[in-house]
Amino acid sequence: MSMVGVLALSACGATTTDDITVGPGKGWPAAYHDGRASGTSPVVGSRKVTLNWARPLGGPIAQPVTIGPDGQMFVTTRTATCSIYSLQMATGRKRFCNPITPDSPMASAVSAPTAVDGTTNVYVGDDGSMNSFNYLGQPRWRTPVAGVPIAAQFTADGNLLSITQTGQVDVLNRQTGARVTPTLQLLGEPDPLAVPDLIRPASAQGMDDCRLGGPQCPVATNAAVDPRSGRIYVTLWQPGHPAAALVALRYHDGKVEREWFAEMLTRGASAGPTLSADGRTVYVGDNSARLIAVDTASGATRWVRQLEFVARGGISVAEDGRIIPAGDDGYLLALRDAGDRAENLWERKDLALRGTPVQTAGNTGYTVAAIGDGLNLITFDTKSGATVDSELLPDALGSTTGPAIGPQGEVVVATRIGEVFVFKPNS
């Protein structure tokens, strides 16, 4: 055999090296951008944007749009034929539109976040599975899980973290979908001797409670991952308990283990865990309108801030410590973590939020606000809160899943009723 032939066979054969990078974070690779779910982007945001295109998908949207390093977009929905759409940034042209669970008339992918790696492979959950497609929409693998993956993140070693609403935690190889750790059940394993006739619940059980963090949905929010410590932060409401908890897990030595458990979230979790840039503090919101800062090493509460609205969805936490909570019943507000309390930086009670605010480099932020009978994309100065630009979302109604920032500073907004708007930077 010639040396060329040997090389060809070697290239096509199995490999133990994962050479598919996750990427540094240009684009919007996860629901709230990164492992710490920061709701921030390293891209310098434009102070002036213009609507480039808009298109309806024909079905609802519940999760933020994710964006690959080249600008390819992904969003889950529920239509007669498709559960996941991929769109091209420049034109809005459809790259692909795939069903995930064809035999399920009410597939739950619409409630599952997507994650995108550095070569534009996309990862998405549905009823009873975590799945991966390449940039053309071709299936790569499908791994069975118990429930619907409500959290999808990348680990520091380039694997995929999947956590279902029922509390099943898996770390999966991104190339094959194989489990690289034993499965962890946050609610514990059932005892077959005590309950010999136990029936596996439907994959979508409790999903209706997830949107508002209700008790029938044990894990209602996305997770945050600290690449330095290997800790994973997730919310959990155990059946029969009076409140939900913030739980710290640790991924190391080929396994995931629980480190601490803090039952503190009154009436359930409303905003998922968000890590500070130094990894020492994790922020979370509950349904009693509290924003809580927690020590990541011990689970001890650092401070509690009572808000005038329930912080729902993501919490934007910049590297300099600026905290901007979200909530469709709230207003634009910026806080600073002062160690033992949260201090007001500024507030804009005239801007009624309709989605999750995000922050970019260059002291520029974006949010969607209700202006009159419509919705506007507001560009604001993150240091002062001042509006620097306001652009109408034509004929948009209701609320949004929050902006996502593209690799060239594009701002992508998806309304919950199912329309995608893309704004291009002007400066």
**Domain residue ranges of the chain, discontinuous segments joined by +:** 20-186+206-425
Q: What's the pLDDT score for residue 202?
A: 84
138-161: b or e for each residue (b if 16 or more CB lie within 10 Å)? eeebebebbbbbbbbbbbeebbbb
Maximum C-alpha span of the chain: 74
Task: Look at residue 422 and tell me whether its pLDDT is greater than 90.
Answer: yes
CATH topology of domain 20-186+206-425: Methylamine Dehydrogenase; Chain H (2.130.10)
Task: From 408, 420, 406, 402, select the one nearest 366 (Cα to Cα).
Answer: 402
Task: Say what the pTM is.
Answer: 0.92
Name the pLDDT band for 118 (thresholds 50, 70, 90): very high
Average pLDDT, the chain: 92
Structural contact between residues 335 and 323, judged by C-beta atoms closer than 8 angstroms: yes
Tell me how far apart the alpha carbons of residues 106 and 215 are, in angstroms, rounded to a whole number. 22
279-313: per-residue pLDDT in tens? 999 999 999 999 999 999 999 999 999 999 999 98
Q: Token pair for residue 128?
A: 């009873």
Phi/psi for 50 (5° steps) reads -130, 140
